[in-house]
C-alpha cells in the first residue's frame, strides 16, 4: 500500500495562545486531509512574531510533505504571516499584481484602503489560493499553503484545494464503545494492538450518566485491517463479558 503523505498545521495568532479564541481549524483541516489520504502529523501554535513564524515554517516544511498555516493574513499591523514566510523562504516580498486586481474588483472604489491592498503583498512567485468569500487570496509557496484564520473563509478556500493535494488512500476509522473503564480492558486491548500493529488503536475514556466507559478507535488506510483488529477486540470483550456497541457518529 502506498505511503500516506504527512502534513503539519501552523496556527499563527496571539489570540489562540492567550486563550481568547478557541481554535476551530485544526480539527477541520485534519478531517479534510484524512479524507484525501493525508495524515496530520503535528500542529504548532505560534505568536504573531516574525522569528517564531520563520522558525516554525522552516522546521516544518523540511519535515512534512505539506505545511498549512492559518491566521495573520488580514489588513492590520498584527498580520505578518506573508512577510514572515517570504523571509523563511529567502525570497523578495511585494505587491502581487493578480491579488491586487482581485481586491480592486471586489471593493467599491471608496472602500479601497492602503491597509486592504496590503493583503496583496506576498512572497515573490507564489501561486494564489482562491477566496470565494471575501476575495483576498491565500497562496502556496513550495510545500506551504497559507490560509486565513477565520474558519468560514478558511474552509471555503481549503475546499478549493481538493484537487491540488496528492494523498494516499483515504484514512478510515471505526469506533467501538465499551461499557467498562479503560483500566479494566487495557490489558486485552494492548494484546490486540500488539497483534495488529498495522492499525493505529486509540483508547478514550468517557463518563456517561455517571458510568465510566471507553471508546476504542481503529484507524488505518486499509479497511480490511481495521475490521480484522476490531473483530479480535470484540471477541476479547465478549470473552471478558464486557458489553460493546458500534459508535455510529465519529
Among 127, 159, 184, 246, binds a second copy (CB under 8 A): 184
Q: Which residue, 52 or 91, is less far from a second copy as judged by CB? A: 52
Rounded distance between C-alpha atoms, residue 205 and residue 171, angstroms = 23
* Beta partners for residue 222, in sequence order: none
Q: Which of 206, 205, 181, 196 is nearest to 235 (CA)?
A: 196
Q: Which residue, 43 or 128, is less far from a second copy as judged by CB? A: 43
Chain centre distance of CA 41 = 9
Q: Which of 75, 196, 96 is nearest to 139 (CA)?
A: 96
Contacting range for a second copy; rule: CB under 8 A; set: 80-88, 91-99, 196-204, 231-239: 196-204
| Site for a second copy contains 222 (CB under 8 A) | no
| Site for a second copy contains 48 (CB under 8 A) | yes
In the chain the first and final C-alpha atoms are separated, in Å, by: 25
| Site for a second copy contains 77 (CB under 8 A) | yes
Helix 81-89 to helix 50-63 angle (10° resolution) is: 50
Rounded distance between C-alpha atoms, residue 28 and residue 197, angstroms = 27
| Site for a second copy contains 53 (CB under 8 A) | no
CB of 125 to a second copy, least distance (A): 26
* Beta partners for residue 216, in sequence order: 176, 203
Q: Are the C-beta atoms of residues 53 and 81 closer than 8 Å to each other?
A: yes
Rounded distance between C-alpha atoms, residue 130 and residue 148, angstroms = 11
Q: Which residue, 76 or 211, is less far from a second copy as judged by CB? A: 76
CB of 249 to a second copy, least distance (A): 11
Among 4, 5, 34, 81, binds a second copy (CB under 8 A): 34
| Site for a second copy contains 132 (CB under 8 A) | no
Rounded distance between C-alpha atoms, residue 56 and residue 156, angstroms = 25
| Site for a second copy contains 240 (CB under 8 A) | no
| Site for a second copy contains 163 (CB under 8 A) | no
Among 51, 113, 164, 198, binds a second copy (CB under 8 A): 113
H or E segment and range at residue 224:
helix 223-240
Q: Which residue, 93 or 106, is less far from a second copy as judged by CB? A: 106
Q: Which residues bind a second copy (CB under 8 A)?
A: 14-24, 26-31, 34, 40-48, 52, 74-79, 107, 111, 113-116, 118-119, 150, 171, 173, 182-184, 186-187, 189-190, 193-194, 200-205, 217, 219, 250
Amino acid at each position: 500500500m502506498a505511503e500516506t503523505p504527512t502534513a503539519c498545521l501552523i496556527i499563527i495568532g496571539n489570540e489562540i495562545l492567550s486563550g481568547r479564541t478557541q481554535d476551530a481549524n485544526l480539527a477541520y483541516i485534519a478531517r479534510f486531509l484524512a479524507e484525501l489520504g493525508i495524515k496530520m502529523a503535528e500542529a504548532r501554535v505560534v505568536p504573531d512574531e516574525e522569528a517564531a513564524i520563520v522558525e516554525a515554517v522552516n522546521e516544518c516544511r523540511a519535515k512534512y510533505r505539506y505545511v498549512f498555516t492559518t491566521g495573520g493574513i488580514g489588513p492590520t499591523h498584527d498580520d505578518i504571516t506573508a512577510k514572515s514566510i517570504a523571509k523563511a523562504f529567502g525570497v523578495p516580498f511585494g505587491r502581487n499584481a493578480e491579488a491586487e486586481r482581485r481586491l480592486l474588483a471586489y471593493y467599491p472604489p471608496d472602500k479601497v484602503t492602503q491597509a486592504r491592498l496590503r493583503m496583496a503583498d506576498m512572497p515573490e512567485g507564489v501561486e494564489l489560493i482562491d477566496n470565494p468569500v471575501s476575495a483576498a487570496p491565500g497562496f502556496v509557496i513550495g510545500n506551504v499553503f497559507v490560509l486565513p484564520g477565520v474558519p468560514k473563509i478558511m474552509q471555503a478556500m481549503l475546499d478549493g484545494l481538493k484537487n491540488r493535494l496528492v494523498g494516499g488512500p483515504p484514512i478510515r476509522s471505526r469506533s467501538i464503545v465499551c461499557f467498562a473503564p479503560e483500566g479494566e480492558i487495557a490489558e486485552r486491548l494492548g494484546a490486540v494492538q500488539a497483534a495488529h500493529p498495522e492499525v493505529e488503536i486509540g483508547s478514550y475514556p468517557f463518563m456517561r450518566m455517571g458510568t465510566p466507559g471507553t471508546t476504542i478507535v481503529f484507524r488505518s488506510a486499509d479497511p480490511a485491517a481495521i475490521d480484522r483488529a476490531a473483530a479480535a477486540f470484540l471477541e476479547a470483550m465478549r470473552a471478558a463479558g464486557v458489553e460493546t456497541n458500534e459508535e455510529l457518529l465519529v
